[in-house]
Amino acid sequence: MTKLPTKPEILDWIAANPTLTSKRDIAKAFGIKGADRIDLKRLLKELEAEGHLEKRKKTYRDPDRLPPVSVLQVKAPDDNGDLYAQPLEWHGEGVEPVVLIVPRASDPALGEGDRILARLQVVHEEDHNYEARLIRRIGASPRKIVGIFRKSAEGGRIMPIDKGSDKEWTVGPDAALGAKDGELVEAEQAGPGGRMGLPRARITLRLGDPSEPRAVSLIAIHQHGIPDDFPADVLEEADSMKPAGLSGRTDLRDMPLVTIDPSDARDHDDAVFAEADDDPKNPGGWRLWVAIADVAHYVTPGSRIDREARKRGNSSYFPDRVVPMLPDRLSGDLCSLHEGVPRACIAVCMTVDRDGNKLRQTFLRGLMRSPASLTYQQVQAAIDGQPDEATGPLLEPVLKPLYAGYAALKAARERRQPLDLDLPERRVQLGEDGKVTSVDFVDRLEAHRLIEEYMVLANVAAAETLIAKKTPLLFRVHEEPPQDKLESLRDTAQAAGLTLAKGQVLKTEHLNRLLHQAAGTDEAELINLSTLRSMTQAYYTPKNFGHFGLALQNYAHFTSPIRRYSDLIVHRALITAHGWGDDGLTAEEIDGLEKTGQHISDTERRSMMAERDTTDRYLAAYLSDRLGAEFTGRVSGIAKFGLFVKLDETGADGLVPISTLGNEYFHFDRESGTLMGADSGREIGLGMRARVKLVEAAPVTGGIAFELLELDGEEYESGRGGGSFRRGRHRGGGAGRSRGGASPKRKLAKAKAKDAKTKRKVSRQRRAKT
């Protein structure tokens, strides 16, 4: 009989040989054969029962040790840029092991939340217990779910809050985190469906009462995964910072650089000043100054604040709150150009001639002190002859020169012909209780346009300077519309009795000509919306493809580093190009510009979707007590399941389900963006005038549903089992009607429908005969 090993000997063997832990491997190591294997099996069972070993399939391991091949979830980089990982297979009772990822040159870049399969090696370093080498990436972090928890005896379910979604998740009793019935929760998917076929979820955060007004933006923030709390170490780093001094900077404190912002602005990151150029070679010219908060002085590459800012990519703005890119110590204090306070800045002086052509620019790193923080309304009122205490003393020396410089820039803009869309902006106004009090149009003042033109010129100056100095940067790129979308826009214009030139290289001036044709007509909003939909989405990249919409070849974002990471990159590039200090663009950042550009383009879209969803929910809440009321609007969207109508009063979009349009089958033409009746040939297109009745408004989802009462001058009569249109007095134009009657497109649609109807009739006759 072979001598059996002791329990400590077995444990020592498994610890020393983590890849040879099956019963067969252990038996072979100690020379155990035949019937003695039964006694070995008994020993292993005892060790397992005592908690010293854990059986995984046919192998044994120490539960206080990680398996040699483990699944890990990547954490955010630490202060030194090192990546650590959370072991997902840790079942020990002690402190969770610390795992350092040791990358190889051939490994793909890993980000926070990635799940990887890695080979582990035990080490005895002070800061970690294991080192991990990537085998393969196996996915991102679990899918986040935001919904309403409904409690049951078996645990509960999470009900969806997405418009049009009916997907639910089951929650076990041990995964509910104490959530109450009806509570808004955040969860993660925990596994595939069980007997009921519904996927399982684990609640990770309780968000409170979904009917509370502040829950509206909170839903979107969590639904889209926008980080809304700063880690303690980031706040600590920000709180330790002191204001920048004059050392190494140009003193601009005597220059009256004023900030002009919305009345509810949370930060002030740009200031402007204009003065006549005294160079006799530039008669009637101007020196235009734009000063931007020097965020790069405080947010240095690789710092904790920098990593958090890059993760966020940009600030997100909601009616009731801002989720900032930077902690308030920076965004609301040190990096905000407050009135009467010295603030670090990067400024550019741009010399233009009397026609607004930029002749040259000079960048400098300075210290400024704004004499006034003004609003757009204040400035416009002062120029219109109604100055107040703040603007009165500044009217002649500051404000009038600003407008004179703007007049030159406006002339240059008219020659350049950037895309001139007319889409009024609506703003949701909230009361002190967080509820919507009104939905108003935002006034577009000359003061708004002035600041826009100064900022555009400064962005051009930054891009051109960095190109000239051969310094890498992130461009703001907007490519030309694709041909298929242009053809669709051309069809829409033709159906509205307008023309878009064909057979030439498209320029913004051609689109502007179309927009000006439509101005003041019933088709104006349709053409503006259709033109906007034909555009590609702007993005960030180190490659310069130009900006089509602005009609500019060289364009970068420089003017808002408090709220956009792209601008911070451009600031660092300017610091490097001018040799202003060691806080410029690093070699590692330059190597990763492509990836950074993709990431912040994605975070920008994420914020846009979250902001849009929040507005939808606020509008639904605002309309929820007006069920049964009638509204006028226009068809703003077409889908195979129905048509969307945008209300004139609030800009709210709601769905008219296709199932409510009667017994007739409506064919969805994706290419033309229309619905066409199979029997009548009736065509429903974008821009048609509509009168609707509100039948549903759900604040939690933001869903709004309408019943159609009238479309493009034809009343709709509902009845049992369906409804029909009744020809009425024509009340306006639209995509399906030109000024001279039925459009060629509508005539063609009717002809096709008639032909299809004939074919179906012949087919039915043939089937009857057979």
Supply the DSSP string of 501-564, one letter for each residue. Answer: --SS---HHHHHHHHHHHTTSTTHHHHHHHHHHHSPPPEEESS---BTTTTBSS----S-TTTB
Give the Cα separation of 567 and 552 in Å (integer). Answer: 18
Structure token pair of residue 460: 């051009």
Q: What is the pLDDT of residue 720?
A: 41
Q: How confident is the model at residue 229 (pLDDT cuts 50, 70, 90)?
A: confident
Q: What is the pLDDT of residue 163?
A: 72
- Contact present, 150 and 169 (Cβ < 8 Å): no
Give the Cα separation of 691 and 533 in Å (integer). Answer: 24
Average pLDDT (578-592) is: 95
Q: What is the pLDDT of residue 191?
A: 67
Query: How many percent of the chain have pLDDT more than 70?
Result: 86
CA dihedral 655, 659, 662, 668 (to 10 degrees): 80
Structure token pair of residue 552: 């500019």
Q: What is the pLDDT of residue 741?
A: 38
Q: What is the pLDDT of residue 82?
A: 80
Tell which wins on pLDDT, 749 or 79: 79
Average pLDDT (69-83) is: 78
CA dihedral 10, 14, 19, 21 (to 10 degrees): 40
Q: How confident is the model at residue 6 (pLDDT cuts 50, 70, 90)?
A: confident
In this model, does residue 766 exceed pLDDT 50?
no
Give the Cα separation of 462 and 559 in Å (integer). Answer: 9
Average pLDDT (182-209) is: 80
Q: How confident is the model at residue 369 (pLDDT cuts 50, 70, 90)?
A: very high
Give the Cα separation of 392 and 399 in Å (integer). Answer: 10
- What angle do helix axes 565-578 and 304-312 make, rounded to 10 degrees? 130
Q: What is the pLDDT of residue 156?
A: 92
Q: What is the pLDDT of residue 533?
A: 86
- Tokens 């840029």 — which residue? 81
- Contact present, 86 and 132 (Cβ < 8 Å): no
> What value does the CA radius of gyration of the chain take, rounded to a whole number of Å?
33
Task: Kindly tell me the burial class for residue 680, based on how many C-beta atoms sit within 10 Å of its own C-beta (0-12, 13-18, 19 or more).
Answer: middle
Sequence length of the chain is 770
In this model, does residue 24 exceed pLDDT 50?
yes
278 Cβ contact partners less than 8 Å away, ≥ 6 residues apart:
none
Q: What is the pLDDT of residue 275?
A: 97
Average pLDDT (35-39) is: 79
- Tokens 């044994």 — which residue? 60
Q: How confident is the model at residue 360 (pLDDT cuts 50, 70, 90)?
A: very high
Q: What is the pLDDT of residue 592?
A: 92
In this model, does residue 101 exceed pLDDT 80?
yes
- Contact present, 77 and 83 (Cβ < 8 Å): yes
Q: Any idea what the Cα angle at residue 263 is, between residues 262 and 264, rounded to 5°? A: 90
Amino acid occupying residue 315: S
Q: What is the sign of the dihedral through the CA atoms of 19, 25, 27 and 31?
A: negative
**Which has the closest alpha carbon to 317: 568, 599, 563?**
563
Query: How many percent of the chain have pLDDT more than 90?
Result: 49
Q: CB 66: neighbour CB atoms within 10 A? A: 27
Average pLDDT (337-365) is: 97
Q: What is the sign of the dihedral through the CA atoms of 41, 43, 49 and 53?
A: negative
Q: What is the pLDDT of residue 664?
A: 80
Q: What is the pLDDT of residue 18?
A: 55
In this model, does residue 127 exceed pLDDT 50?
yes
In this model, does residue 280 exceed pLDDT 60?
yes
pLDDT digits (tens, 9 = 90+) for 617-656: 999 999 999 999 999 998 888 888 899 999 998 989 999 9
Structure token pair of residue 217: 């933006």
Give the Cα separation of 50 and 55 in Å (integer). Answer: 12
Average pLDDT (318-344) is: 94
Element (H, E) at 500: none
pLDDT digits (tens, 9 = 90+) for 643-701: 999 999 898 999 999 888 877 888 888 777 788 888 878 888 888 889 999 999 988 88
Average pLDDT (50-54) is: 59
Q: What is the pLDDT of residue 748?
A: 44
**Which has the closest alpha carbon to 718: 423, 290, 294, 726?**
726
In this model, does residue 768 exceed pLDDT 50?
no
56, β-bridge pairs? 59
Q: How confident is the model at residue 760 (pLDDT cuts 50, 70, 90)?
A: very low
Beta-sheet pairing, 270-276 with 286-293: antiparallel
Q: CB 164: neighbour CB atoms within 10 A? A: 9
Give the Cα separation of 593 and 568 in Å (integer). Answer: 12
The number of C-alpha atoms within 13 Å of 351 and in the hemisphere containing its C-beta is: 13
pLDDT digits (tens, 9 = 90+) for 446-485: 999 999 999 999 999 999 999 999 999 999 999 999 988 8
Give the Cα separation of 441 and 464 in Å (integer). Answer: 36
Q: How confident is the model at residue 747 (pLDDT cuts 50, 70, 90)?
A: very low
Beta-sheet pairing, 426-430 with 270-276: unpaired
The model carries a pTM of: 0.76
Q: CB 505: neighbour CB atoms within 10 A? A: 6
Give the Cα separation of 338 and 370 in Å (integer). Answer: 7
Q: What is the pLDDT of residue 733?
A: 37
Structure token pair of residue 519: 């101005």
Q: What is the pLDDT of residue 732?
A: 36
- What angle do helix axes 215-223 and 593-623 make, rounded to 10 degrees? 150
Provide the greatest CA pair distance for the chain: 111
Q: What is the pLDDT of residue 225?
A: 86
Tell me the pLDDT of the chain averaged across its residues: 85
- Contact present, 522 and 532 (Cβ < 8 Å): no
Tell which wins on pLDDT, 623 or 55: 623
Give the Cα separation of 604 and 597 in Å (integer). Answer: 11
